[in-house]
Structure 1
Amino acid sequence: MERSTFQYLLKQVKPMWKKKATGRIKLKLEVALLMTIWRLATGCSFRELSNLFNVGRGATFSAYLEVVKILFNMKNKFVKWPYTEEAQQKCCEDFQNLRKNPIPFVIGCIDGCHIQISAPKNDSISYFNRKQVHSMVLQAVCDSNLKFIDVFFGCPGSCHDAAVWENSPLAKDVKTGKRKLFNESFLLGDSAYPLSKFLIVRYRDNGFLTDQQNRFNYIHSSTRVIIEQAFGRLKTMFRILHNLIIDYEGIQDFNNDDDLNFVEPNIDDAGNKNVVDSDEGGEIRDRLAMLFCS
């Protein structure tokens, strides 16, 4: 994180940093914020953090929790859904400028990510995922700049991506019209998601795909890889400050030729028997596939 980004974040957090009610001197905000950023970036223990900043372990823990709560309350300032037609048009244009053969009308790419947790005391089996660890599912949508524009977290690790999507506020909002998708725009998702006019997935490989369908899958995957890159950046850098850093420091060279050769694995195809696709979504996907082979 650059110094200017830190100073901006400090300015945003300062109004919400409450003074201690007791007579004891509270830890300086600058120190508390630095400690929090360090732990978010490295995942170090509170013992290590306490020793590194020469602050008592109790004060370290309290300051960390307080700063994280403040950052959480600021989430809507940085994770913003494009509600207006102009904002969605900008998202579509950015995606079209991203690839030589872009898929039109894409406003975001969606995927799920497992966040490992300790085994809960109650109903721990529901949180036991296919990788044999306990987790909760983070569903996120990102734009072409790797910025998250919608997040949903809380489903147990055993939940399929399709079930997480169906229970997310975003899915409910687009279906009821609370969040309008203008100009026939849509999201791109992998084959774990149900096909609809709001969410276009690739053709599931049944062993008999046509050249046209394979071509569409290739282009679809080369665009949808953006969400994989966003998750990769989130996991290797800052868990909470991802969008803020992109805003103020930009993105290092993520859009290289290797991304164009990305082919999405078929890990989800065999387990999607319960995913129900819509005919309307199928018609949209078929028209898009014809567009790339015309």
Structure 2
Amino acid sequence: MDDQTFKKLLQLVSILIKKQDTNISEQERLAVTLRFLAFGDSYKSLSVSFCIASCTIFLIVPPVCRAVYKWLKSEYLKVLCTQEESNEVAFKFNKLLNFPNYIQVGAVDGKNVQIAAPPNSGCKFYNYKGTHRIVLMAVVDAKYNFLYIDVGCNGRVADG
């Protein structure tokens, strides 16, 4: 993500992710979360990189994800509605990435995100890794722009 895009996203979500009772800035909160989502770094690894305790990072990532989703879902994230939009996605995959006959919805992937166990959830969010998780699923176009995301499916299911 370039600096201009980061600043624009920060401007949109800063009100929702700002905390009065901490020394961790909105910029750091967003950077930690984006690094976690992009590279799948562990909380321990992020703790070393950002000099923030891993238990604090555990408390930062989920609310920042919710804030980003809240601001981006209406204006930037949408499901492809028409055949023309689907054809355009397929055309771009062929032209930009030399990936012909690509499925017309985009590239789909999922990620398990560790969370604190929700109250009264039992084992619904508990998965094979021994932690409580939710699933983030995303669809992107050939330029890595998000076309659709879904966050919140219980982590007991696979992220595929």
Q: What TM-score range do you get, normalising by the shorter chain?
A: 0.5 to 0.7
2:71 aligns with 74
Distance 1:125 1:147 in 2: 34
Residue number among 128, 131, 134 corresponding to 1:130 in the alignment = 128
- The structure number with the bigger radius of gyration is 1
Distance 1:70 1:135 in 2: 18
Distance 2:155 2:94 in 1: 34
1:35 aligns with 25
* 1:95–1:106 CA contact under 8 A, matched in 2: no
Q: What amino acid maps onto 1:39 in structure 2?
A: R
| Post-superposition CA distance 1:191-237 (Å, at most 9, x none) | x6xxxxxxxxxxxxxxxxxxxxxxxxxxxxxxxxxxxxxxxxxxxxx
Distance 2:128 2:149 in 1: 22
Aligned pair in 2 of structure 1 residues 144, 77: CA closer, same or farther (>3 Å)? same
Q: What amino acid maps onto 2:5 in structure 1?
A: T
Distance 1:139 1:80 in 2: 14
Aligned pair in 2 of structure 1 residues 77, 130: CA closer, same or farther (>3 Å)? same
Identity %: 30
Q: What amino acid maps onto 1:78 in structure 2?
A: Y
Q: What amino acid maps onto 2:122 in structure 1?
A: S
- Residue 151 of structure 1 aligns to a residue whose secondary structure is strand
Distance 2:100 2:12 in 1: 39
Q: What amino acid maps onto 1:95 in structure 2?
A: F
Shift of 1:4: 3.6
| Post-superposition CA distance 1:158-209 (Å, at most 9, x none) | 1245xxxxxxxxxxxxxxxxxxxxxxxxxxxxxx6xxxxxxxxxxxxxxxxx
Shift of 1:70: 6.0
Structure 1 segments unaligned to the other structure (5+ residues): 18-26, 28-33, 50-64, 162-191, 193-294
Residue number among 151, 154, 160 corresponding to 1:153 in the alignment = 151
Q: What amino acid maps onto 2:32 in structure 1?
A: T
2:109 aligns with 111
1:86 aligns with 84
Q: What amino acid maps onto 2:154 in structure 1?
A: P
Distance 2:31 2:2 in 1: 13
Structure 2 segments unaligned to the other structure (5+ residues): 34-45, 53-62
Count of aligned pairs:
130
Aligned pair in 2 of structure 1 residues 126, 9: CA closer, same or farther (>3 Å)? closer
Distance 2:140 2:2 in 1: 23
How do 1:214-225 and structure 2 match up within 5 A? none
How do 1:135-284 and structure 2 match up within 5 A? 135-160=133-158
- Residue 37 of structure 1 aligns to a residue whose secondary structure is helix
Q: What amino acid maps onto 2:115 in structure 1?
A: I
1:264 aligns with none
Shift of 1:81: 2.6
Shift of 1:135: 0.4
- Residue 29 of structure 2 aligns to a residue whose secondary structure is helix
Give the aligned CA root-mean-square deviation in angstroms: 3.8
Shift of 1:145: 1.8
Normalised to the residue count of structure 1, the TM-score between the two structures is: 0.35
Shift of 1:117: 0.8
- Residue 97 of structure 1 aligns to a residue whose secondary structure is helix
- Residue 105 of structure 2 aligns to a residue whose secondary structure is strand
Distance 2:66 2:137 in 1: 20
Aligned pair in 2 of structure 1 residues 159, 39: CA closer, same or farther (>3 Å)? same
